[in-house]
Structure 1
Amino acid sequence: MMRSDITAHDVGPQGSPSGAGWRTDPTAPSLPEVHRSIAIPHGAGWLRKLFAFAGPGYLVAVGYMDPGNWATDLAGGSAFGYTLLFVILLSNVMAILLQALSAKLGIVTGRDLAQACRDHYPRPVAIALWFLCEIAIVACDLAEVIGTAIALQLLFGIPLLWGVVLTALDVMVVLYLQNRGFRHLEAFIIGLMVIIAGCFLVELILAQPVMADVARGFLPSSEIVTNPMMLYIAIGIIGATVMPHNLYLHSSIVQTRAYERTDTGKREAIRFATIDSTVALMIALFINAAILILAAAAFHTSGRTDVAEIQDAYQLLAPVLGVGIASTLFAVALLASGQNSTLTATLAGQIVMEGFLSIRLRPWVRRLITRGIAIVPTVIVTAMYGESGTANLLVLSQVILSLQLPFAVVPLVAFTSDRTKMGRFANPAWLKWTAWGVSAVIIVLNVKLIFDWITGA
């Protein structure tokens, strides 16, 4: 049942609903320790305001280039050359749309997606959604733990098991940076993204791909549908693109900006937040495309069409390209990617627990819980099965993320299309149906991916 006795307290400036359509008091902020902590300069020029809003999109974008995506990009490039670049582009466009809706939900309603679900659904449903989301966050953290451990092994020869244990230390990095201010955390994330992009830029220069072939790869090809193996990898790329925890994360961290709570202020905040996330996701597009292009130029053209695992790519890059630094740059980018993604995943864990359950734990306790749950199974599997076990665990983590995705995407599109919740900011008809169409495509492809994984197809 929805609350009908809306009071003046629930109505924001200029008649925009801040609490209309929600059951509970909207005053409890998301991430209270950093809520509205970053000032937006009044009367400043467009560029200064854009810079003030820049940051959250980059925290979101790192989830789209995490180690869990590397395997599908490597497999696609080595097996089929540049053909699947179109799929990476298409999945990125879908991600841009859903992240823009996530930012809009947080800006307009003052709630993150977890709080919105708690307020709208009966408590048993909200608890179930929280449990599923926690599993997804642990699965995501699992991929980051494995990716970071592999990078440490490749770079420094640290045994995989010890690398997994060492990943627990990055919890302290999050705490230190957030205590210094949310801008410091954003700057650290952006710095690591620059390192990743720089590494792959050098890799592409060394690989010397044929640019005409690269350009053709961004065009749709009927072969993607007619070739069963190519279709399977394409489904894997799209299915693993939108990370469910990113939708919760983005709807929260956009509220770190102290924008005006008027219709004009919210409209401006939505515009700048959308630009921020779109630019950041275009960087993610470059990195994901670069991994596939590198695999195509280095492996596919030399007849190595079976390279799908990160360790194999690392071992082969230097001899194939004839430059020793190629493998090192690849491992450095992997380490930065794993570190980046795990920072945002642990932050998302805090948002989800507080949003769904209204339970506040000290940030270090929350992050240790999330990281501990991810590390324990990884340590056990690594100790028992070694590298092959961690590779299988990486695949399993992506399947778990696929299972959770509908439970984040469907509420997001429904809430942002609901005029009783969003007022005049509700999605117009064209955006509403586009969002539902994108959601349907992602969900169907994820179901297909899960079915193939279960049946071993």
Structure 2
Amino acid sequence: MNPPSDVAAEAAAGPPSLPEVHRSVPVPNAGGFLRKLFAFMGPGYLVAVGYMDPGNWATALAGGSGFGYTLLSVALASSLMAILLQALCARIGVATGRDLAQLCRERFPKPVAYPLWFLAEVAICATDLAELIGTAIALELLFGIPLLYGVVLTALDAFLILWLQHKGMRWLEALIFGFIVLIFGCFAVQIVMSDPEWGAVLRGYVPASSIVTDRTQLYIAMGILGATVMPHNLYLHTAVVQSRAWSHDVAGKKEAIRFATIDSTLALSLALLVNSAILITAAATFHTSGNTEVAEIQEAYQLMTPLLGGTLAATLFAVALLLCGLNSTVTATLSGQVVMEGFLHIRLPPFFRRLVTRAIAIVPAVIVTWIYGESGTAHLLILSQVVLSMQLPFAVIPLMMFASDKARLGALAAPRWQVVLGWGCAALIVALNLKVLADVILGD
């Protein structure tokens, strides 16, 4: 049984996801592989931004300084999970013409759908919190703006989002891609300056048993997982992939799924390189010099100048952090819109939506900054990423249910190998979450 392929069938289901940009980017009917790939490239980079936000920095710095290159294997495994899960997101977005939030609302009873909405909002607020603190830290390092003022000042990025959305999807994607390239360039220079031991780097991508047996390593590993496979990105990808005006027949949708998968795979591979670069820089600069407890971004910035013999690395570090923070505001804003409109059918102006999520995130950030100052930011950043990891099953399990539903998707359902690996990822995430909870409760 093939799924309905006409526009009317999808329109009857309700308003489209992200209506401002829905099917706004044309897809050529003719032309070579590269021309069509270029038309589909963009949504993957919007998603990849969330995989290199300031929350990743805190977990990578803590992991690299504390355990050297060991947790590179976690970064690799998390990225492979992300590549698979985002491919499944692209599939259901194209195949159903609905985003993940809309599907949850339409196919689950209200006692299930509303808690899923609440948990998705918690994940978005945790993401926003990490971006807010990271951006404020970058402003302090580069311009000397006090951290508390910087936290409040970052609420003004709502105006940046409004301007980007007004310019259109292609302008938004181009700016995001440009920032990613600059971030990658900053870390490429830092890696050269830190001169890591490449044999140890390669060995770090091989999983070590200590990651599971050592409670601290497992906690940081869960933070890396939460910072890499982010719940709000699963909702976002199912929506932004629908910005392309592909053909509505089965052949057109299969082609759209193929190109969207290539797009997200390439983008997430670049995100893996950036995340690895952060951890490698931390391991080569701090762990090897005996500074094994560097978790604060400010402390890392201050140590880079004496350890690497110049201010260039530290300056590039702060610039990359600012770009990551600004970039990530886009994904949090769009994800918030997707989740609220999809689950509740409530549409808020993007400006108001951004201020609401920023206000919720600002409260804990201001409290921690006021009480603990700079010393509390790293703990809050890492905790926010662990919270994201705890929310993952509540997005991944519905995703797998929809992607493997042959009765509804027909020929567009996920192939068996993706279904098996996807459910395996879901089981692993649940098991790791239970292990962390058991460690906290039992105090072992």
TM-score under structure 2 normalisation?
A: 0.95
Q: Which residue is 1:85 aligned to?
A: 72
Residue 219 (str. 1) matches residue 206 (str. 2): yes
Q: Partners of 1:447 and 1:156 in 2: how far apart?
A: 42
Contact 1:239 1:446 in 2 (8 A): no
Q: Which residue is 1:12 aligned to?
A: 5
Pairwise mapping of residues 433-452 of structure 1 onto structure 2 (< 5 A)?
Answer: 433-452=420-439
Query: Which runs of 5 or more structure 2 residues have no equivalent in the other structure?
Result: none
Pairwise mapping of residues 133-148 of structure 1 onto structure 2 (< 5 A)?
Answer: 133-148=120-135
Residue 236 (str. 1) matches residue 223 (str. 2): yes
Q: Which residue is 2:419 aligned to?
A: 432
Are residues 218 and 17 of structure 1, via their aligned partners in 2, closer, same or farther at CA, if it must alter by over 3 Å?
farther
Pairwise mapping of residues 28-39 of structure 1 onto structure 2 (< 5 A)?
Answer: 28-39=15-26
Partner SS state of residue 115, structure 1: helix
Q: Which residue is 1:55 aligned to?
A: 42
Are residues 214 and 402 of structure 1, via their aligned partners in 2, closer, same or farther at CA, if it must alter by over 3 Å?
closer
Query: Which runs of 5 or more structure 1 residues have no equivalent in the other structure?
Result: 1-5
Q: 1:396 deviation in Å?
A: 3.1
Residue 315 (str. 1) matches residue 311 (str. 2): no
What does the per-residue CA deviation read over 1:339-381, in whole Å, with 9 as the maximum and x for residues that have no partner? 1112211110011000001111222122221122212332233
Are residues 78 and 396 of structure 1, via their aligned partners in 2, closer, same or farther at CA, if it must alter by over 3 Å?
closer
Q: 1:390 deviation in Å?
A: 2.9
Contact 2:48 2:264 in 1 (8 A): yes
Q: Percent identity?
A: 63
Q: Which residue is 1:203 aligned to?
A: 190
Q: Partners of 1:456 and 1:336 in 2: how far apart?
A: 38
Pairwise mapping of residues 27-426 of structure 1 onto structure 2 (< 5 A)?
Answer: 27-225=14-212, 227-426=214-413
Partner SS state of residue 301, structure 1: helix
Amino acid paired to 2:93: G
Amino acid paired to 2:334: L
Q: 1:122 deviation in Å?
A: 1.2
Q: 1:403 deviation in Å?
A: 2.7
Partner SS state of residue 414, structure 2: coil
Q: 1:450 deviation in Å?
A: 4.2
Q: Partners of 2:168 and 2:193 in 1: how far apart?
A: 39
Contact 2:235 2:335 in 1 (8 A): yes
Are residues 453 and 53 of structure 1, via their aligned partners in 2, closer, same or farther at CA, if it must alter by over 3 Å?
farther
Q: Which residue is 1:3 aligned to?
A: none
Q: Partners of 2:342 and 2:265 in 1: how far apart?
A: 25
What does the per-residue CA deviation read over 1:366-416, in whole Å, with 9 as the maximum and x for residues that have no partner? 222112221233223322332233333323322332232111110000111
Let me know the Cα RMSD of the aligned residues. Answer: 2.2
Q: Partners of 1:239 and 1:137 in 2: how far apart?
A: 12
Q: 1:17 deviation in Å?
A: 12
Q: Partners of 1:271 and 1:116 in 2: how far apart?
A: 22
Q: Partners of 1:66 and 1:435 in 2: how far apart?
A: 24
What does the per-residue CA deviation read over 1:175-228, in whole Å, with 9 as the maximum and x for residues that have no partner? 111111111111111111111111100001111112222222223334444555
Contact 2:81 2:425 in 1 (8 A): yes
Q: 1:18 deviation in Å?
A: 6.0
Contact 2:223 2:389 in 1 (8 A): no
More displaced, 209-218 or 227-236? Answer: 227-236
Q: How many residues align?
A: 444
Contact 1:40 1:49 in 2 (8 A): yes
Q: Partners of 1:240 and 1:30 in 2: how far apart?
A: 25
Amino acid paired to 2:402: F
